[in-house]
């Protein structure tokens, strides 16, 4: 019961941010994915910096999840030096475009 209440509260708190978020353009993302595919495009890939880390496949993830994750890396709330460096160079529109691209199945 408490999880349902907290989940509902978080959803309603996020509504203003969703209303302000730019619409993503999957086609525009094709010129922006070069930094992503080197790690996220390789099934089972592991990076050793800063420690051994299994890189997740992000294809098919929710656009909201992808944008939230990128924003968290950009702000430092999520800690991974490579992802933080990449996210810091992304605008809100870039994040929305990448989320639109990766939330769909593509080859």
Q: What is the pTM of this model?
A: 0.74
What pLDDT, on a 0 to 100 scale, did the predictor assign at position 106? 61
b/e 60-89 (16+ beta carbons within 10 angstroms → b): eeebeebbbbbbbbbeeeeebeebbebbee
Element (H, E) at 3: helix 2-20
Mean per-residue pLDDT, 43-67: 87
Q: For 17-26, 39-48, 78-87, which range has the lowest pLDDT when averaged over its residues?
A: 17-26
| String of DSSP letters for 9-52 | HHHHHHHHHHHHSPPP-HHHHTTTTHHHHHHHTSTT-EE-SSS-
Domain spans in the chain, listed from the N-terminal domain onward: 21-102
Mean pLDDT (the chain, rounded): 84
> Where does 21-102 sit in CATH, by number?
1.10.760.10
């Amino acid at each position: 019961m408490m999880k349902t209440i907290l989940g509902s509260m978080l959803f309603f708190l996020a509504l203003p941010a969703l209303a302000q978020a730019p619409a993503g353009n999957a086609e525009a993302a094709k010129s922006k994915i070069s930094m992503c595919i080197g790690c996220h495009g390789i099934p089972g890939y592991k990076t050793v910096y800063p420690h051994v880390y299994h890189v997740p496949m992000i294809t098919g993830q929710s656009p909201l999840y992808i944008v939230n994750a990128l924003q968290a890396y950009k702000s430092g709330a999520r800690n991974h030096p490579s992802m933080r460096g990449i996210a810091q160079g992304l605008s809100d529109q870039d994040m929305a475009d990448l989320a639109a691209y990766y939330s769909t199945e593509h080859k």
